[in-house]
């Protein structure tokens, strides 16, 4: 009887911990997805302050043209963005403790030198949970087939 009680107690404890982990995972994934949308909106509305709040000071970006950009360079780039709409087509978040890797695709519609364009790109972003918030520490973007 003591063994059965101990076994039931261990199963219940494990189940509760499992649900708590899933709740944390679900909450973290939702927050990260929302932050990814903040990123897209910052480019659409030319809002470097929005990016400043979510990018780490040591942030590194490998752009689709191969350029390596710092946080300051990305914030300057957003001011001159020609994007009129950025639509996320897919996004998958993989949590690894206090780190998250997000991969996905997005489509950018805009006007550059008077000509409309549509560009489809893939991305991989790395997020770190620090001091009670998620912050982006690196991104890599590459052109994808339309």
For 77-101, the pLDDT digits (tens) are 999 999 999 999 999 999 999 999 9
* Fold (CATH) for 2-143: Nuclear Transport Factor 2; Chain: A, (3.10.450)
Domain ranges of the chain: 2-143
Q: What's this model's pTM, rounded to 2 decimal places?
A: 0.81
Question: Could you report the per-residue pLDDT of 54-71, keeping only the tens digit for each?
Answer: 999 999 999 999 999 999
Classified as helix, coil or strand, 18 is helix
Question: CA–CA distance from 75 to each of 8, 52, 102 (Å)?
Answer: 55, 7, 21
């Amino acid at each position: 009887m003591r063994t059965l009680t101990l076994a039931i107690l261990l199963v219940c404890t494990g189940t509760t911990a499992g649900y708590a982990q899933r709740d944390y995972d679900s909450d973290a994934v939702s927050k990260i997805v929302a932050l990814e949308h903040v990123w897209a909106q910052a480019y659409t509305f030319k809002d470097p302050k929005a990016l400043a709040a979510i990018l780490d000071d040591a942030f590194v970006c490998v752009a689709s043209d191969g350029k390596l950009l710092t946080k300051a360079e990305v914030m300057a780039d957003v001011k001159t963005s020609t994007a009129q709409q950025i639509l996320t087509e897919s996004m998958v978040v993989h949590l690894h403790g206090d780190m998250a890797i997000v991969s996905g695709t997005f489509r950018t519609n805009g006007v550059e030198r008077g000509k409309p364009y549509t560009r489809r790109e893939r991305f991989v972003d790395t997020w770190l949970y620090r001091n009670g918030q998620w912050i982006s520490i690196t991104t890599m973007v590459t052109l994808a087939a339309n």
